[in-house]
Structure formats: structure tokens, C-alpha cells
A = this chain, B = another copy of it.
Amino acid sequence: MSAELQTRSERKHDDIMRAATQAFIDKGYEGASMDDIAGRAGVSKQTLYKHFSDKDRLFEEIVLATAGGVDRLVALVGAPLAESKDVAKDLTALARGMLAALLDEELLKLRRLVIANAGRAPKLGRAWYEQGFERVLTTLANAFEGLSNRGLLGPHDPLVAANHFVGMLLWIPLNEAMFTGELQKRTARNRDAVADAATEAFLRAYGSPPDA
């Protein structure tokens, strides 16, 4: 009984999160009202406030859940990378997977929303940056350090290497999405070409020396 109640409560929690995400994306942070969110989620305002004391808290949880999801994804691909026997192959797969995941339309719209509100709500922007952005870089840096210790990458600072890998991979496609609003413009083939070019340049800069 208690377990079932908790499950129902968790389900409502998830319904609210999904409804609020859509409301924020459609109307912006200021434009989305708690009334609107309750209506979309199909719950009473009383229920909504039982789960989230205010709009800020709700936005914060969405941002943290999204940022955490990105990091889990990278960890999933990054952990095997540290054990890799074919760095070029596995790094290419990581680059392609990361780019495809980050060019998700909802994720990009949330990203833009966080940037738009970073002046008003710096705490949220910082949460996204630290919980998502920086954690991904740390995860990658750990994988690169493992490869470097095994002589499969050169002896460079692994965090700088991670910054540069991600910068080469994401700078163009993410800015294109942020500025032009054409979130689904690139084909899978084009995305893969961007990922492959970034990986090749990265390996020239950070790969193990040819005589190693």
C-alpha cells in the first residue's frame, strides 16, 4: 500500500516535470504560470504545490535532471573508453554519440532557456554549468587520464584535453542551434562527419607520439 502510494506520487512528480518542461519551452520561464503547468500535468494546483513549493524550485529540478542525464550518458560511453584497445575507434564512437545526444531538440531548447535566464537566475545557470557541463568534462578527463597512463594518449593535461575535445566537437553545431533556432538541421551523416573531424584533429593534437 505504502509502496503503491509512493509510486503514484512519483508518477505525478514525473507528469509535472514533463508538463513543466513543455510549458517553459513553449512560453519561456516568465510566461509559464503554475496554473498552466498544473493544467498541462492534469493535477490540481494543490497537488502541484505539494510537489514543488514554487516555480523556481520546479525549473531547478528540471535543469538538474537534464544536466545529470547528459553526464550519465557520457559516463556510460566514457568508462569503456578508459579501457579501450582502439582509441581512434572508441573516441569516434564517443564523439558521434555525444553530438547526437546533445543535438536533441528538447535539450537544446532547455539549454537556451537556461542561458536566457542566467542573468535573472544565476544559481540555475551555475547549476547547469557545474552539474552538467563541468561534470561531463571531468568524466572525459578521467577517461583521458586513463588512456594517457596506458600510453594511448600523449602526456598532456587531461582536463585541457577534455576541454579541447568537446570544444572542437560542439562549438559549431551547438552555436548554430542556439542562434539560428534550426535545431534539427543537421542530418545524422553530417553530424558524424563533424564528430569524425573533431576526433581526427584531437588525436593529432593529443594522441600518443608516433614513436611511443
A109, CB-defined interface residue at 8 Å = yes
A174, chain B: closest CB distance, angstroms? 9
A33, CB-defined interface residue at 8 Å = no
Q: Chain B: which residue is nearest A117 at the CB level?
A: B116
Is A114 touching B171 in the complex (CB atoms < 8 A)? no
| Alpha-carbon distance between A199 and B155 when the two chains are bound, in angstroms | 17
Is B115 touching A179 in the complex (CB atoms < 8 A)? yes
| Alpha-carbon distance between A67 and B116 when the two chains are bound, in angstroms | 19
A144, CB-defined interface residue at 8 Å = no
Known: A125-B180, A133-B179, A178-B118. A171 touches B172 (CB 8 A): no
Which one of A160, A167, A182, A202 has the highest number of Cβ atoms from chain B below 10 Å of its Cβ?
Answer: A167
| A contact patch SS | helix
Number of interface residues of A (CB under 8 A): 39
Q: How many copies does the complex hold?
A: 2
Is A179 touching B116 in the complex (CB atoms < 8 A)? no
A151, CB-defined interface residue at 8 Å = no
Known: A164-B198, A168-B164, A197-B160. A176 touches B115 (CB 8 A): no
Is B160 touching A166 in the complex (CB atoms < 8 A)? no
Known: A164-B168, A171-B170. A178 touches B115 (CB 8 A): yes
| Alpha-carbon distance between A146 and B115 when the two chains are bound, in angstroms | 37
| Alpha-carbon distance between A202 and B163 when the two chains are bound, in angstroms | 13
Interface flags for A91-122 (1: CB within 8 Å of B; 0: not) read 00000000000000000010010111111001
| Alpha-carbon distance between A170 and B174 when the two chains are bound, in angstroms | 13
Is A201 touching B164 in the complex (CB atoms < 8 A)? yes
Is A125 touching B181 in the complex (CB atoms < 8 A)? yes
Closest 3 CB pairs of A and B: A167-B171, A116-B116, A205-B205
